[in-house]
Structure 1
Amino acid sequence: MSLLEKLKMKYPIIQAPMAGVTTPEMVVESANAGILGSIGAGYLSAEVTRAFIKKVKEATTKPFAVNLFVPNDVDTTKEELEDAYNVLKPYRKKLMIPDEGALLSTSDIDAQIDVIIEEDVKVCSFTFGLPTDDIVKKLQQHGIYTIGTATTVGEAILVQEHGLDAVVMQGEEAGGHRGSFIDPEELVSLHDLLKGVRGKVTIPVIAAGGIATKEQIQAALEAGAEVVQIGTAFLVSEESGAPEIHKQQILKAEEDITALTKVYSGKLARGIENDFMIFMEGNKIAPYPYQNDLTMSIRRRAQELDIYSLMAMWAGRNLHLVEAGSVQEIVDHLTK
């Protein structure tokens, strides 16, 4: 049975699970349009994850995925965190944010797994590493399809050896965070990834990274992918929770204006290059996820005030090829 049939999709497209901007409406409309909708639950608690799932289930009976972030062991000190926090003082002052410290995040993945099983979600995907053997077995025992994320051929082989059912091959063109989990990080194009996994990976391959047109979808399928995963094209949709100024910066782009940076979260990610990315480069930053926690108040206030020079505006390299519209209109544009 093909991946398309297994996941009951009309078209070989997965709406990328974009944590922070994916809304229940985006997931529902994706499912109803014949593609696989995905909940980006990486930053959510188990309770909020359940509420999100229930909203989707109230509006569609079609399958959808939930994406989780695999927690990483972080080696840092209180002094390093304080140094990284202090570097951000000028930005907090500019935005009139009280100097009250930052709440550091913790992972709720085990409780989220229980929620996914209890709510009978059909697909669970993972980013930033490999889930434990117990998690994989637990999900598969309940008939839940599991998907890993890889940015190199070596990572893809590990995803397969770990027993997951499919793998997302994320090319360096992709917007948002890199799913890398082996050091040193490598930047490999989607074309080279798809070429590299031939004969080495037998589980279904999902192509991701810079896919924004029908022709690019076809090229990925011809290169060996069974399905593609698309983010930026849906980030600008009417149902997206991205700030309007973020959408407009993408839609008015006439060429690739993105760059890779760690300054927002401590993990390498691709977004529209802005002043914060340029001026923070070379400064002390905390490792992921703590840098993400330290910059959260800055990003939120900048969003409230429409100061895009300080916002994290994730986007893939082919952002200039996407078009505005509803999820249904974007799916039609990509498939018809």
Structure 2
Amino acid sequence: MSSLPAFLANASPVFVAPMAGGPSTPDLVMAAAQSGHIAQLAAGYRTAEGMSEQIRTVRSDGTELFGVNVFVPNPSPIDPDIYRRYAETLLPTAKRFAVPGLPSILEDDDEWEAKIGVLVNDPVPIVSFTFGLPDATVVRRLRAAGSVTMQTVTSSREAQLASALGIDVLVVQSAAAGGHSAILDPTRVPVNRSLPDLIRDVRSAVDLPLIATGGVTDAHDVRTVLEAGAAAVAVGTAVLRSPESGASSLHKDALANPTYNRTVLTRAFTGRPARALANQFVIDHDADAPAGYPALHHLTKPIRTAATAAGDASAVNLWAGTGWKHATTAPATNTLAALADY
């Protein structure tokens, strides 16, 4: 079984998963690093310059143990008629939040080339990929620049495809994870199986070090997945309510609100399967939501933004893993230390 690169192996085996859209702040990354844990900045939905600014902030504190996660362009193009029909179902919700109009189809690549250019020219210790597989040339460029490369996968087949590209480390994500599934075919949903079973399956298919993520809530979970063959675990929802997290207060409060009693995998917000608390938006729109990322992300963004500004969690993407009830407002370092006490 392959081992983690030395600087990763010497860190705590409890990492912080990158969470795009705000939660993964430089403060969270720096706090984790200061206590021997590895965390990553989330470049998704940021400009290349915004990503660079966060890297500079982390480095200004002297932090050397960190990474950057980028979204690989892997669009699921949507038929204009299907897009229009879904947009029409959203109009009552848009009206409720005084959103004047919904956007036309936008299929962008999240400034992929610019971000890779920055990371090659100003290397960081870790670069991880989500949503799609990068070209092997990109992997070689980043490795030549000195970065350890990671790929998020959800199955043994995806793991084999990533391994063939020369990726250094695999992040194995179960369906229990909060936020977007990293499944490579965004028209499907990940198979619902336990994280230890998934780790064992991937372990039998590839000889790369594995980081387990999705539904890890306590030290027992950590011990179980490490015994299954993972070299480390990565948690997200567990630190989502921490002071260092950049999640909105609306999101943090919703995670502790007993009104929300279940999570679901839904395409309603972005057209890509993502696990969220089942709020009114999910109830109203999940059944109608087609596959179509990133077009649906841009379509629903004005509604989500207006709902957040109004302090109304009923129409906000409340990403949460299945263990969301265990998330507390404790400092991230306290939560990570408790998880590492296995």
TM superposition score normalised by structure 1:
0.94
Instruction: Quote how far apart the aligned CAs of 1:256 are.
Output: 6.1
Q: Is the 8 A contact 1:31 1:60 kept in 2?
A: no
Q: Match of 2:11?
A: 10
Matched, 1:136 2:139: yes
Q: Is the 8 A contact 2:163 2:206 kept in 1?
A: yes
36, 44, 51: which one aligns with 1:34: 36
Q: Is the 8 A contact 1:173 1:209 kept in 2?
A: yes
99, 119, 124: which one aligns with 1:121: 124
Q: Which moved more, 1:75-84 or 1:201-210?
A: 75-84
Q: Which moved more, 1:318-327 or 1:247-256?
A: 247-256
Q: Is the 8 A contact 2:123 2:146 kept in 1?
A: no
Partner deviation per Cα, 1:237-290 (whole Å, 9 max, x = no partner) = 101111123212223559962111000000001111111101112225460111
139, 142, 158: which one aligns with 1:155: 158
Q: Name stretches of at least 5 consecutive residues in structure 1 with no aligned partner.
A: none
Code of the residue aligned with 1:164 in structure 2: it is I
Code of the residue aligned with 2:226 in structure 1: it is L
Partner deviation per Cα, 1:57-97 (whole Å, 9 max, x = no partner) = 11233221111111114333333333332222111111011
Matched, 1:170 2:173: yes
Q: RMSD of the alignment, in Å?
A: 2.0
1:102–1:296 CA distance, 2 compared to 1 (3 A):
farther
The CA distance in 2 between the partners of 1:184 and 1:279, in whole Å, is 21
The CA distance in 1 between the partners of 2:55 and 2:170, in whole Å, is 23
The CA distance in 2 between the partners of 1:76 and 1:144, in whole Å, is 35
User: Secondary structure of 1:282's match?
Assistant: helix
Q: Match of 1:230?
A: 235
Code of the residue aligned with 2:332 in structure 1: it is V
Code of the residue aligned with 2:172 in structure 1: it is M
1:266–1:28 CA distance, 2 compared to 1 (3 A):
same
Partner deviation per Cα, 1:206-228 (whole Å, 9 max, x = no partner) = 00010021111111111100010
User: Secondary structure of 1:221's match?
Assistant: helix
Matched, 1:212 2:217: yes
User: Secondary structure of 2:314's match?
Assistant: coil
The CA distance in 2 between the partners of 1:4 and 1:256, in whole Å, is 40
The CA distance in 1 between the partners of 2:293 and 2:102, in whole Å, is 20
The CA distance in 1 between the partners of 2:289 and 2:152, in whole Å, is 28
Q: Match of 2:200?
A: 195
The CA distance in 2 between the partners of 1:8 and 1:117, in whole Å, is 24
Q: Is the 8 A contact 1:299 1:310 kept in 2?
A: yes
Q: Is the 8 A contact 2:76 2:291 kept in 1?
A: no
Q: Is the 8 A contact 1:31 1:63 kept in 2?
A: yes
Code of the residue aligned with 1:244 in structure 2: it is S
Q: Match of 1:248?
A: 253
Matched, 1:90 2:98: no
The CA distance in 2 between the partners of 1:49 and 1:302, in whole Å, is 26
1:53–1:194 CA distance, 2 compared to 1 (3 A):
same
Q: Which moved more, 1:165-174 or 1:285-294?
A: 285-294
The CA distance in 2 between the partners of 1:229 and 1:123, in whole Å, is 14
The CA distance in 2 between the partners of 1:10 and 1:324, in whole Å, is 24
Q: Is the 8 A contact 1:125 1:146 kept in 2?
A: yes
1:103–1:235 CA distance, 2 compared to 1 (3 A):
farther
User: Secondary structure of 1:198's match?
Assistant: helix
262, 277, 283: which one aligns with 2:282: 277
Aligned residue pair count? 336
Q: Name stretches of at least 5 consecutive residues in structure 2 with no aligned partner.
A: none
The CA distance in 1 between the partners of 2:322 and 2:106, in whole Å, is 31
The CA distance in 2 between the partners of 1:254 and 1:331, in whole Å, is 27
Q: Is the 8 A contact 2:77 2:295 kept in 1?
A: no
Q: Which moved more, 1:266-275 or 1:300-309?
A: 300-309
1:229–1:181 CA distance, 2 compared to 1 (3 A):
same
Instruction: Quote how far apart the aligned CAs of 1:303 are.
Output: 1.1
User: Secondary structure of 1:240's match?
Assistant: coil
Q: Is the 8 A contact 1:149 1:179 kept in 2?
A: yes
Q: Match of 1:44?
A: 46
The CA distance in 2 between the partners of 1:55 and 1:231, in whole Å, is 21
TM superposition score normalised by structure 2:
0.92
The CA distance in 2 between the partners of 1:262 and 1:289, in whole Å, is 11
Instruction: Quote how far apart the aligned CAs of 1:4 are.
Output: 6.6
Q: Is the 8 A contact 1:255 1:320 kept in 2?
A: no
Q: Match of 2:190?
A: 186
Q: Match of 1:258?
A: 263
The CA distance in 2 between the partners of 1:332 and 1:252, in whole Å, is 25
User: Secondary structure of 1:217's match?
Assistant: helix
